Structure 1
Amino acid sequence: MATTTSVDNVRRLNLATFFCLYIAQFIPSTFITTAMQVTMRQANYGLATIGLLHLVHIPWLVKFLWAPMVDRQCSHLASYRRFILLMESIYALSIMCIGFLDISADIYFIFVLVFISMFASATQDIATDGLAVRAFSKGDHSAVNSMQSMGRYAGAFLGSGIFIVMLDHFGWSVVFPLLGLVAWLMVVPLQFNKKIRIEPRLPKQRAKLMDFMWFFSRREIIPHVIFLLLYFMGIIGIIANVRPYMVDLGYNMKEIGVWFGMVGTSTSFVMAWVAHLLIRRISMYRARLLVAFMIVTAPLYFILLTFITPTLPMIVGGLLLVKTCHAFASIVVYTTAMDCVREGREGTDFTIQVVVVHLSSSLISIISGGVGEWLDYRGLYLIELGIALISLFYVIRVFKPNQMLAKW
């Protein structure tokens, strides 16, 4: 009994460590996106222009290019610790520096610092994901991915909720340095956690520069890649434009911060753990199918809202629906992805799959702004409904009960 209890305690400690690492990646980025989206909409910028803000996430879309280098550098636990600390320090310092600049006079320098911070964060994420794969058994992949999603949502809660409310009271010169400090502190648990263990690699299993290209070389991986591209698409356009939608309905930055950033994200946080428990109980096949059905309901709900003048409870209900769908879909997608990595290329293979998801999400986010401006919100939601139905049909046709993942 004592041995089992000790193992459970180590597992909880390791999960908490990765929870902190994933929080650090998302606090500043969600804050910047939310603050600038709301501010630009209040200044009467069009939805298409606001959608271009998502271009600052380009490093997250091309990080597969240097992922093999990170896998080669991080061969043992000490090298993972050093590398993650270095990247997090660059990330935090870049964010802190923004607070000492004038947003009206130094906007281009601010964009450069944001880009540097995103590059450092994306690189840290490669190492963190690679370490997560090696530190946990396959049976715990849904658990560590729930920590990833919960860390993301906790970061979003702080970044698009708490810190947005603080911005209204204290201004950029206080909030940005504080953001950087909080992000840096989240990497401290990894440096002191002595319970993490990883298996050594064989020399022949080291990643090569072009390993990211070989990921797509086998025919059986193509259905999986299409699944990664489609699965989120039915809700991403809604999430990307729900804050401007709330502005158009008369809500201010503080109200949006509370309902979208705090209440909505708290729901995602809880549902990420519920999704992990669901997968363990009903199997990945049934969970994948159930979540695909759930995603179809989100655009249907928002289409109905366009025929009435929605009340606050109706808007909050829609927020909770899309946040729940996104949390469930995240655990399904990333657990599937983590189960598919090759030994010695853990960070590279997982990064490639994450980039596929981020690429499709970013394209939909950018395009959805123009679609919303052209066809209005109802037209956008109708298109999202069509994509969600295609995704559901694909899941039903392609994935079968007890199907094994492709091996490569």
Structure 2
Amino acid sequence: MDIFIFNGGVLLKLIFAIGSFYFVQTLIGGIVFQAIPAWLRSHNVDLYTIGLVSLAMIPWTLRVLWAGGVERYRVTASGKIRSKQIVITGQVALAVILIGLSFIHENMFITLISLLILLSLVCCTSEIACDAYMIENLNSKSYGIGNGLRIGCGYLGMAVGGGGLIYLCDKWGWQFSLLVYSGLLLFLLLPLLLAPSINQLPVTEKSYQRPSLIKTLKQPMMLKAIVLVFFFEISGRLISSMLSPFAIDAGLSLENLGKVTSFGGAACGMLGTLSGMLFIRIIGYRWALLLATLFKCLSISCFIILSLQPDINPIGLIVSYLFFNYTFSVGLVCLYSFLTTQASLKQAGLDFTLFQCGAALAAGCSGYIGGIVAHYMGYVTLFNLTLGCALFVLIFLYRSSILKAV
């Protein structure tokens, strides 16, 4: 569907719908992985127990296992599409779970973890249909807008779900704050209910194909795309978790670091999101992704130069950090916009979920490897290793045929 042939009102409805459900997805992530640990610690729960909250990440890493089943329900043999219904049902379920969560106390930990895992399970399953909805209702020229909304609303949702809920819990209390958030989820159904959607596969896609993970993995272009996702994510994630410790070791105070990471990081992330959308519109997917990777190489090089200095300039450190956040968000918009073009309408949710699971695997490995390398070999080695991965991605993008068709 080409959104540029719509009148302004219809286009606006579609943008609000896509933005709202990506806002909800990351809002849930902020609640589970930021607000809940902070709330537990404020009630003197020990750190080991708080660490078990990470069990809620399990559904996100394993969802590719049931993505095929979701796709078989989402697209019927007759070509009927149920993406919108799945997203609406999932969002109502999330609101109900938040209501249940509001009655939990800090000493009911097993029940709390069970509800958090259920919350993540519903959220990540719903996102399979969210991704499919975006792919179905935008054409390839419009994927930059859709993925810009994904990243931009993601920043906003994480802030509201994490820091926002922490603030409200302090002011209004745990139960009332979660009830407010439950109401917010129900209110955010409105943009989706009012938005247009494709309810039937186009004629060119009508021949039924049973969604299959094995068939997807047998496609050479899909395998190249997964390799691209893995190394693209590693080339950013390897150092992202180590930048705050590096800044502290360089002499930056916790207060200043907090200001930079919260306000500055979010602002640069949003600016990068808008830049990524603009680059795609002006120079296309291939050159936008190449440009984003080149920017990433430059930002990593800044940290290499800083780490070689005996006395690190705090201004240079802050500028380098903000530039890295900018390049990282530009890259995400360009990468996910390209990946959207690789997903088949017949199993869009499954294809895109496979890409995201590859990204999650890369993020998990990167955090662990980055910590080991920084601890035993130092920051300089870590930054050089990351730059090597980024240069590999740059060469892969330039020489591979993967981007020449888009």
**What's the TM-score bracket when you normalise by the shorter of the two chains?**
0.7 to 0.9
Aligned length: 394
Distance in 2, Cα, partners of 1:95 & 1:366? 31
Task: Give, as a single letter, the amino acid of the residue that structure 2 aligns with 1:83.
Answer: I
CA drift at 1:134: 0.9
Distance in 2, Cα, partners of 1:18 & 1:31? 20
2:95 aligns with 92
Three-state SS of the structure 2 residue aligned to 1:66 is: helix
Three-state SS of the structure 2 residue aligned to 1:141 is: helix
Q: Deviations over 1:203-235 (max 9, x none)?
A: 642433xx1122121334333221110112232
CA drift at 1:11: 2.2
2:387 aligns with 388
Task: Give, as a single letter, the amino acid of the residue that structure 1 aligns with 2:197.
Answer: I
CA drift at 1:79: 2.9
Task: Give, as a single letter, the amino acid of the residue that structure 2 aligns with 1:150.
Answer: G
Distance in 2, Cα, partners of 1:406 & 1:5? 24
Distance in 2, Cα, partners of 1:55 & 1:245? 28
CA drift at 1:170: 4.3
CA drift at 1:51: 8.5
2:13 and 2:191 in contact (8 A); partners too: no
Comparing 30-39 with 349-358, greater Cα deviation is found at 30-39
Distance in 2, Cα, partners of 1:93 & 1:164? 20
Q: Deviations over 1:264-290 (max 9, x none)?
A: 223312321221111121222222222
Quickly say closer, same or farther: Cα 1:324–1:39, change in 2 above 3 A. farther
In the TM superposition, what are the counterparts of 1:34-53 in structure 2 within 5 Å? 34-35=34-35
Distance in 2, Cα, partners of 1:206 & 1:354? 22
CA drift at 1:77: 7.7
CA drift at 1:117: 0.9
Quickly say closer, same or farther: Cα 1:302–1:87, change in 2 above 3 A. same
In the TM superposition, what are the counterparts of 1:38-117 in structure 2 within 5 Å? 55-75=55-75, 79-103=82-106, 105-117=107-119
Task: Give, as a single letter, the amino acid of the residue that structure 1 aligns with 2:342.
Answer: C
2:373 and 2:382 in contact (8 A); partners too: no
Comparing 277-286 with 128-137, greater Cα deviation is found at 277-286
Residue of 351, 354, 360 corresponding to 1:352 = 354
1:327 aligns with 329
Task: Give, as a single letter, the amino acid of the residue that structure 2 aligns with 1:395.
Answer: L
Quickly say closer, same or farther: Cα 1:55–1:324, change in 2 above 3 A. farther
1:399 aligns with 398
1:99 and 1:172 in contact (8 A); partners too: yes
Task: Give, as a single letter, the amino acid of the residue that structure 1 aligns with 2:398.
Answer: F
Distance in 1, Cα, partners of 2:138 & 2:10? 11
Quickly say closer, same or farther: Cα 1:326–1:62, change in 2 above 3 A. same
In the TM superposition, what are the counterparts of 1:234-313 in structure 2 within 5 Å? 234-242=235-243, 250-251=253-254, 256=258, 259-302=260-303, 304=306, 308=311, 311=314
Three-state SS of the structure 1 residue aligned to 2:142 is: helix
Distance in 1, Cα, partners of 2:302 & 2:169? 32
1:234 and 1:299 in contact (8 A); partners too: no
In the TM superposition, what are the counterparts of 1:180-259 in structure 2 within 5 Å? 180-193=182-195, 195-200=196-201, 204-208=207-211, 211-242=212-243, 250-251=253-254, 256=258, 259=260
Q: Deviations over 1:145-192 (max 9, x none)?
A: 111111211112323443344445445344433333323432331112
1:41 and 1:244 in contact (8 A); partners too: no
Unpaired runs of 5+ residues, structure 2, are none
TM-score (norm 1): 0.81
1:227 and 1:395 in contact (8 A); partners too: no
1:268 and 1:324 in contact (8 A); partners too: yes
TM-score (norm 2): 0.82
CA drift at 1:316: 4.7
C-alpha root-mean-square deviation of aligned residues, in Å? Answer: 3.8
Which has the higher relative contact order, 1 or 2, with Cα contacts under 8 A spaced 6 or more apart?
Answer: 1
Quickly say closer, same or farther: Cα 1:86–1:371, change in 2 above 3 A. farther
Quickly say closer, same or farther: Cα 1:174–1:40, change in 2 above 3 A. closer
2:18 is equivalent to residue 15 of structure 1? no
Unpaired runs of 5+ residues, structure 1, are none
Residue of 125, 129, 134 corresponding to 1:123 = 125
Three-state SS of the structure 2 residue aligned to 1:207 is: coil
Distance in 2, Cα, partners of 1:40 & 1:244? 24
CA drift at 1:129: 0.8
